[in-house]
Amino acid sequence: FRGGGIMIAGGSSPVFENLVVKDNSALRGGGVHIQTGDPIFENVHFFNNVSTVDYDGYSLGANGGALSVTGESQSIFTRCTFAGNQSGGYGGGAYVEGASPDFIHVNFYGNNSITAGGGGLVLSAGSTVDVTNSIFWSNNPEQILFQSDGDANSLTVAYSNIQGGQDSIVTNDNGTVTW
């Protein structure tokens, strides 16, 4: 039910280079789910992954259309693309829960969250996320969203282009943005 394309657990920290993660589905992390560990993704493209699963005639919405990062992971994503991914819950592109990933030279484009929010990226449960030299564009309903409950989140944005600017980041009074 987790990581339709790749599941990372057990504290492993693999390196993925020049890879396409496409057309996968899972209840959480349609393309990739990181339970624990500090993997590195370089030049990896996430296309058309879905975190909605049909179960016994019911469609269950879940978090992280392309990517779900949990378990205090300090993952690094460099020169990656997240496009056309969809979540039935939070985070069409990526859902981060209590983790601290870095996104460097990354594009989030055309990702959707159908029922919950955060088409591009969602931070929850005290996540600390750094975004550098990246683009967030045409994600629906928001580019970046902080969940309103749980521990406060922290987002640092540098040298990046986010559609709508800083005002398009919905913090729900649950964390800080350093721009």
Whose CA is closest to 90, among 52, 126, 57? 52
pLDDT tens by residue, 160-177:
999 999 989 999 999 999
Alpha-carbon distance of 20 to 69, in angstroms, equals 18
If pLDDT is split at 50, 70 and 90, which confidence band does 159 have?
very high
Question: If you compute the radius of gyration of the chain from its CA atoms, what whole number of angstroms results?
Answer: 14
Q: Are 25 and 51 in contact (CB under 8 A)?
A: yes
Mean pLDDT of the chain: 93
* Parallel/antiparallel/unpaired status of strands 32-34 and 67-69: parallel
Alpha-carbon distance of 30 to 4, in angstroms, equals 5
HSE-CB at 137 with a 13 A cutoff on CA atoms is: 7
pLDDT tens by residue, 46-97:
999 999 856 665 556 689 999 999 988 999 999 999 999 999 889 999 999 9
- Would the pTM count as exceeding 0.85? yes
HSE-CB at 100 with a 13 A cutoff on CA atoms is: 5
Alpha-carbon distance of 52 to 39, in angstroms, equals 24
Least confident of 30-39, 54-63, 139-148: 54-63
pLDDT at 107: 98
CA distance between the termini of the chain? 36
Give the three-class secondary structure for 77: strand
